[in-house]
Amino acid sequence: MPDPIALAVPFFFVLIGLELLWARRRGVRVYRFTDTLTDLSCGITSQVVLIFWAALQLAIYDAVYRHAHLVSLTPSWGRPWLPWVVAFIGVDLLYYWWHRLSHEVNFLWAAHVVHHQSEDYNLAVALRQAVLTSWTALPFYLPLAILGVPTLVFAVTHALSTLYQFWIHTQLVGKIRGPVDWIMNLPSHHRVHHAINPQYLDKNYGATLVVWDRLFGTYAEEVERPVYGITKPLASFDPMWAQVHYWLEMASMMRAARTPFEKLRVWFASPAWKPEGYVVETPPIRNRTKYDRPVSRKLATYVALQYVGVVGATFALLTWHHGLPRTVVIVGVAAVLGALVAIGALLEGRPWALRAELGRLALGGLALALVFSSGACRRDRHNVTMHTIAGESTILPARAVAPDAASDAASLTRSSMQVLDVDGRSRRYLLIEPRTLEPSIRYPVVLVLHGDGGDADGFHGGFPFEQASGADAILAYLDGIGSSWDLETTFENRDVKFAEAVFDELSRRFPVDRSRLFATGYSSGGFISNVIACQRHGLLRAIASNAGGAPYKQAQTWPNGYPKCPDQAPIAMLALHGEDDYGVTLSSGRFSAEYWAYVNGCKSDEMETTGYEPCHVYRGCPSGKAVGFCPIPGLGHWVWTRAAEATWSFFRTQ
């Protein structure tokens, strides 16, 4: 699943620009250059660091869901809307309690305080986020996993809740009266929450709904003009200092505490509490002067231009990090964080600012060099001559799926969740088997692999492959660990071993044709299909990748520089990819087809048409080792509606 937050980044900046223009038209100033950049830098820091542990956090939720859920709120209940309703109410209520305790418990406040440091209030402040709050919030959401909210449903609902909260960070929308004011969290409510006026402190914690504040006694109406920030101002434009300053203040309080109980209390007491004798000087709220530093026009121009590059690099990392080697991601994140530190130092006139700027430019250059050397930006290498064939394609013939395919598939097949022990770990897969097995037939097996953030149940609901294969094949929808796949390990890969174990298990239970084993997947599931084919010579007969890409991290290389697995051999491959895919770009799908065309010895500069209009296959491929590419017009990062029938048609001819 593409990250909704990453996809929303361009819209965030468009809306910030519109708010700035609207404010100027009204003759009010709601943005300051230095503070706005710090807001954005805190948000960028949070998002790029999240790259490294977002999958782990989702894996924790997923593990609790799998092993401890009391009920299973899945579409199989016959009410596909039910898990979404439960997730919406649950996410909003549990967010309220996490948010409230993040203002009432010191160590939670240390993580959350970053969001409140700005002395302005605008849409950029919505992006000012902390690195650690995703960890402090996670335990609050685990009851939803126990209740049975599927991982994908939770992830999408949580992302949408976060997106909703963006627009309420504005001073330009006044009070909205009527029933909506009693139910929804609105800008006037959230202005109160960000204010440090005494009557506004610790009020209005809601995310999407304000009913929880009204119900639990934490609601306050906006009456007087809010003063924004925190009671002891941060007084810095350094985004890294913003992330750690209160943790260091807590350490100082622990040193000042006189007893072990007081030292422990520092962590769990209210932020308003201080150890005996510990004094914190806070400026008066009325007529408070906002922290700022003079910045020359020349420096502001330079910083703004550099920041455009930082934002572009951040968007690229958030959008495409799944398809990049881990080393590239680590160096890229380090370059972004180094740039944010250097920019903060330039804005504050630090004596070491120039050294930091030169260092981060060198790091950025290294990151770009690694990107290009890794092949991540590889494009077409050849001009391809397209041949139109007369008659039906023998490699990818058109197959029409009957209008009643769904009901036919349901009557011909049955599904069940299976658990298999692989190297001491329980792994799950959804089995789709024919209701009646013909004794004279040996059946092909198709592995179907979800994308990041998905699971077997959810992907089956969106990609029911049996509607194309009917009762002619056995299907296994595999579950990745933490809703993801291991695309990095080149030896003893746990997911490759899982695929082998499933084939072995099904071969013991059913009359399986071991010469006709296939795999197809979406996004990271498409990548892992390629990895299985690469690392297990002779296991698979063909693969099909939807919005995925070729193997990219191997110890060996082919003569032309492509990554090579030990003992790798040709295999039939079909790449299906949306032309408007901004999650895994079209060039990645095209390269995966080029990759296998090279490995298989096909003619890389000649292709021919097929029974599916967007799809073409390379000429000169060995028999049973065809390679095809389907660039789908208008499709984004998802599976083509005809993918199952085209894939099954391709598999049948190999």
User: Is residue 408's pLDDT more than 80?
Assistant: no
Residue identified by tokens 């092993």 is: 67
The answer to whether position 280 is within a domain reads: no
> 227 and 93, same structural domain?
yes
Between 542 and 395, residue with greater pLDDT: 542
Full DSSP string of 293-306: ----HHHHHHHHHH
> 128 and 42, same structural domain?
yes
Virtual torsion, Cα 118, 121, 123, 125, nearest 10 deg = 10
User: Is residue 449's pLDDT more than 90?
Assistant: yes
The answer to whether position 121 is within a domain reads: yes
User: Is residue 477's pLDDT more than 90?
Assistant: yes
For residue range 71-118, list pLDDT tens digits in order.
Answer: 877 644 456 788 899 999 999 999 999 999 999 999 999 999 999 999
What residue type is 509 in one-letter code? R
Supply the pLDDT for residue 396.
80
For residue range 137-181, list pLDDT tens digits in order.
Answer: 999 999 999 998 888 889 889 999 999 999 999 999 999 989 999
Supply the pLDDT for residue 601.
93
User: Is residue 51's pLDDT more than 50?
Assistant: yes
Output the six-digit token pair for 207.
Answer: 């995310």
243 — pLDDT class (breaks 50, 70, 90): very high
By the 8 A CB rule, do 604 and 597 touch? Answer: yes
> 590 and 553, same structural domain?
yes
Return the minimum-mean-pLDDT range out of 21-25, 46-50, 92-96, 402-406. 402-406
Range of the domain at 569: 385-653
CA distance 139 to 519: 36
User: Is residue 282's pLDDT more than 90?
Assistant: no
3-state helix vs strand vs coil in the chain, percent to 5: 50, 15, 40
Output the six-digit token pair for 392.
Answer: 């039906």
Mean pLDDT score, 278-302: 90
Supply the pLDDT for residue 277.
87
Give the best-scoring range by mean pLDDT among 14-18, 322-326, 363-367: 14-18
Q: Tell me the H-state helices in 433-515.
A: 456-462, 466-469, 494-509
The answer to whether position 518 is within a domain reads: yes
> 477 and 623, same structural domain?
yes
CA distance 458 to 453: 10
Mean pLDDT score, 558-583: 86
User: Is residue 347's pLDDT more than 90?
Assistant: yes
> 429 and 354, same structural domain?
no
Mean pLDDT score, 627-643: 91
Structural domain total, the chain: 3
The answer to whether position 285 is within a domain reads: no
405 — pLDDT class (breaks 50, 70, 90): low
By the 8 A CB rule, do 123 and 169 touch? Answer: yes
CA-based R_g, the chain, Å: 28
380 — pLDDT class (breaks 50, 70, 90): very low
> 520 and 444, same structural domain?
yes
By the 8 A CB rule, do 303 and 37 touch? Answer: yes
By the 8 A CB rule, do 98 and 107 touch? Answer: no
CATH number at residue 631: 3.40.50.1820
CA distance 216 to 223: 20
Pick the last residue of a domain from 200, 222, 238. 238
Phi, psi of 225 (to 5 degrees): -65, 125
Pick the last residue of a domain from 353, 373, 393. 373
Output the six-digit token pair for 145.
Answer: 């996993």
Beta bridge partners of 321: none
| Contacts for 358-365: CB closer than 8 Å, 24+ residues apart | 360/335, 363/331, 363/334, 363/335, 363/338, 364/309, 364/313, 364/335, 364/338, 364/339
* Whether the predicted model's global pTM rises above the 0.75 cut: no
Report CA torsion sign: 618, 621, 623, 625: negative
Supply the pLDDT for residue 86.
93
> 144 and 172, same structural domain?
yes
Supply the pLDDT for residue 4.
73
